[in-house]
Structure formats: structure tokens, C-alpha cells
Chain A
């Protein structure tokens, strides 16, 4: 085989490879999007049409009743708008306070040579590896003793002390801040805590955003904690309300699908506008030193 022929062959191979790349990725993307398409289309169909004809790829008539039903007052005391508010009001304060204490601890772990630093940090790493299942029942007993059942405390309080994952991430980030900056602040007479507040925290904003977003998503999507602790329908956060919605609207498929769409929409918008932070936050979680 001549050299020219070889070259041409390898050019064909390269072409085929490129085409296969596009084809496969498009296929995977379609597989990912298809379920979203299904609920979107179904949420816009008429109720009797879905009951009569099963699934259809396109609505006969566009009907917004499914979406309207979400905002109608319900007989069962479950309201998606209120549940949405409950979720926001319980998750956001938890994330903000938790971020503060996590980064405070991370600063100490990264930049302070106190005795016990290494030991305390390995305890932290150890708890990250412990399967959460084992703490489920004892935590419930503690919360029962504290009278926390059917309050928001089990959803909010534990996270406010900080999260080990977040400390780990913030420590990596703060390690990268030059020591000179901290020393300069101390020469200027700032104490350890005020150095953290005025110098470190402002530098950490990108990292805080990416950790805060991931944390917010986890809180927004949390289903298990409220399932165990919240029994009052009026206090249901979004995920629980959505799950309950199914019992109420079992035969109203468009309404069910519309409520799913509405529930996912806020996170989708946040994700699509702040994608960069998500990707960073996640990519770093896999890099351990």
C-alpha cells in the first residue's frame, strides 16, 4: 500500500469516527430529553383525552387546565405554591448559615497550624464515608426527645452546623489563597476571625456560589427528611406535596405532569443560567489530595 493511500484511509477513518461521535452524542442527548418531552406534552393535553387514549406524542388540543389546577385552592390542604415557599424558607437559611460555618472551619483547616488540625480533619473525612443510614433511627430518637417532630428543625438545624463535603471543598479552595495576603491582614491588626470575614470570605465567593447551589439543589430535592418528620399537610415542603399530589390527582394526568414540570422548572432555570458554577463544584469533588 502506498503512503498516499494509507493517508487517505486514515482520513476516512477519522471522518467515520467524527460522524460516530456526533451520532452517539445526539442519541444520548435525545434519550435524556425524551422523558422531559413526554411530560411537557402530556401536561398540555386534555384530561379526558389522556384517560381515553393513553399516551400521545402531540396534544390534540392545547389545554392549560393542568397548570391552572396547581394554583387552585385544594380541598386537601395541599398547595404547591405554599409548599414551594416552605421549601425556599427552610432551605435558604440553612444553606447560608451552613456555608458560613463550613468555610470558617475550612479556613482553620487550611491556614491555621493549631494542634489537632490533622486529627480533626481525619474525623471529618471519616464521617463523609459513614453510610448515613446508620444514623437515621438514633437521629429520630434525638429529635423526638427534643420535640422536633412535625417542626422544621430536623430539616434546618443539622445543616446549619456545616457540611463535611462543603468543608472539604472550601478547604481545597482556601489553600490556594496566598499566605502573604493573610499575613498582611494580620500585620494590619486584623484578628483571625476578622481576616476570615473581610479577606477570605470575599475571595471565596465563586466557590461559595458553587457549593451553595449544589447544597440548595440537594435541599430543594430532599424527600426523605420531611417524609420522616413532617406530618402536617400545611407544612409540607415541595417534594412531599408533589408526592401527595399524586394521591389526589391520580386520574388527572395532565395536572400531575404539570406539577412535575413546575417543580423542576426553578432548578432548571438556575442550573442553565449558572452552569459554570455547578460544573466546577462537582468536578472538584472528585479530586482528592
Chain B
């Protein structure tokens, strides 16, 4: 055996477990999902795949004419607003942190990152209690003479509350990535601009923002991929709200993946089952894929790698 072949075999042996994992738990399931999306499979059972019965594009037609699906699409995009919100506040806080001394910086960073390590279920309890009709926010509202608001069962308030909750929970990640990006900005560039008479705002938007654009791009791409799959928050809250609030108040709590989950695991028969759930997930991947492709196409316009 030649040395070259031994290197090849050695290399592949080392990546083998990882590659098996990817093949078995990602690549094969993707192919299966596409196949299942053309079938009438209802329940997730051990013999469902062996008894696969193809029915063509029926599910896709049904989904695209299902008003609840479009509601879910709308809600998902509204919920994804927390990505730009987190980017804006994350950058603002990172800029502010940069001005602090070492100890204070560490303190604030530690505090602001705590929600990121907190369990989602506990965080939901926490916020739900804050939004209760007799909860913390309403205790302030009523103390100021206002009328208590039923935040989580009011269709106008449900989504803003969720966005606040998700922003609160995820902001630490954005702060840390932006902080890391800011430390890599070329200081002499900023000083040169200052000597040329550029004001604080001008320096920020003309030098700092372009310099950190790769991080912004990364956050945007991953934010869209993850943000459009938002689900667990909605599932826990709607389950806690109880009967009559399966999709939150007035359907404001249905997101694409929440719909898929209910279809595949809970309400199979009534909603079209596993087959339609897979068809919907294929559509979701297409939406995310198109947006990601657009992102990559337009990155030349505004992302600067040096």
C-alpha cells in the first residue's frame, strides 16, 4: 500500500463517525422527507414508510390554498422581526460596552448574557407570569390607574409579547458576536477619519459598520434560517394557555413549524398527517433557501471582506 493511500484511508477513518452521523441523521432524512411529501402518510409509525403510497402533488396544492398556512407564514415573518431588532440592539450594546473599563464591561456582559443560558420552559413561565392579568406589568398599569391588559390572550398583544420575550432571550448572542467584531476594527482608520474631521456618527456609519459587515451578514443568514423555524416558544405558550388557544388568540400564535409539528405528531388525522407535514417542511426549506440565496447574491453590494 502506498503512503498516499494510507493517508486517504486514515483520513476517511477519522471522519467516518461524523460522516455516518450526517448521512443517517441528515442526508437520508432529507431524501425521505421529499418522498414522503408526495405520499398520503398519516401517522408516524414503524411500518408507515414501508407502506408508502404516493399521491403526487396533492399536498402542495392543499397547502397553498390553506388560509391557515398563509396565516402561519405571515406570523413566522412577523416573529422573525426579532432578528433585525436583536441585531440593532446587540450592536448598540456592544458599542456601549466597548467604552467601559475591564471590570464593568465583564459585569455587564455577564448580566446581559444570562438569558441565553436560561431554559426556554422556565423563561416562558417567567414571562407568562409577568404578562398575567394580575402579573408584574399589570400591577404597574393598574397602579397608574389603567385597566389590566390580558396580554397573552389578546390578539393585538400576543405577538409583540413573544417578540419581546425572544429578543430578551437571544440578545446576548448578538452582543458577543458584535463585540468580537468590533475589537477587530482597524483603530488607525478611525483615528485617520477623526483627524479628517469626521464626526462620531459619520465615523460609525462609514467605517465601523462596513468593517463589521461580515458579522452582520453571518447573523442575518443564520438569523433567517433559525428565525423562520421559530416554534418552541409558541408551542409552550399555546399549550399553557389551554383549550381554545391551540393557535394562540385568534390564530396569532401559529407559525409554520408549529403547524408542521401539530400535523405530524398531534392532530395527524384532522390536519393531513405526516405526508402534508413533510410537504410543508419542503416548502419551508424552499422559502429559506431562496432567501439565503438572495442574501448571498446581494452580499457583494454591502459586505466587505478585507
Contacts and interface: CB of A to CB of B under 8 A. Distances in A.
Interface of A: 17-18, 21, 24-25, 28-29, 31-36, 38-39, 42, 54-57, 101-102, 104-105, 107-109, 112-117, 120, 123-124, 127, 129-142, 144-145, 147, 158, 160-162, 164, 167, 192-193, 196, 217, 220-221, 223-224, 228, 238-239, 242-243, 246, 253, 256-257, 260-261, 263-264, 267-268, 270-272, 275, 278-279, 282-288
Interface stretch (B60-68, B78-86, B94-102, B155-163): B94-102
Contacts of A123: 19, 22, 27
Nearest to B226: A131
B273 to A, nearest CB: 10
Contacts of B9: 114
B121 A132 contact: no
A145 to B, nearest CB: 5
Given A35-B126, A161-B21, A271-B117, A54 B14 contact: no
B63 to A, nearest CB: 14
A62 B204 CA distance: 50
A112 B285 contact: no
Contacts of B100: 21, 25
A181 to B, nearest CB: 18
Nearest to A39: B126
A42 B36 CA distance: 48
Contact of B7 (A113, A145, A270): A113
Residue of A28, A133, A192 most packed against chain B (CB within 10 A):
A133
B33 interface: yes
A239 B236 CA distance: 11
Nearest to A282: B176
Contacts of B285: 130-131, 133-134
A161 B18 contact: yes
A130 B264 contact: no
B22 A124 contact: yes
Contact of A114 (B12, B114, B135): B12
Nearest to B97: A25
A108 B33 contact: no
B115 A147 contact: no
Contacts of B240: 246
A55 B304 CA distance: 50
9 contacts: A17-B99, A28-B112, A32-B114, A33-B114, A35-B127, A39-B126, A112-B7, A138-B36, A140-B264
Contacts of A161: 17-18, 20-22, 24-25
Given A246-B240, A264-B122, A120 B278 contact: no
Contacts of B229: 131-133
Given A35-B127, A145-B46, A221 B120 contact: yes
A101 B20 CA distance: 11
Given A130-B26, A140-B44, A141-B49, A278 B215 contact: no
Contacts of A54: 132, 134-135, 138-139
B45 interface: yes
Nearest to A192: B10
A117 B117 CA distance: 35
Contact of A282 (B11, B25, B114, B173): B173
B111 A138 contact: no
B11 A32 contact: no
Contact of A286 (B121, B181, B257, B292): B181
B99 A21 contact: yes
B264 A239 contact: no
A31 B44 contact: no
Nearest to B183: A283
A55 B18 contact: no
A158 B112 contact: no
Given A32-B112, A35-B168, A223-B120, A137 B264 contact: yes
A273 B152 CA distance: 36
Contacts of B292: 129
Contacts of B264: 136-137, 140
B32 interface: yes
Nearest to A20: B96
A193 B6 CA distance: 13
Given A28-B112, A130-B26, A138-B33, A192 B14 contact: yes
B238 interface: no
Contacts of A101: 17-18, 21
Contact of B18 (A24, A124, A285): A124
B7 A275 contact: no
A108 B278 contact: no
B54 interface: no
B177 A137 contact: no
Nearest to A23: B96
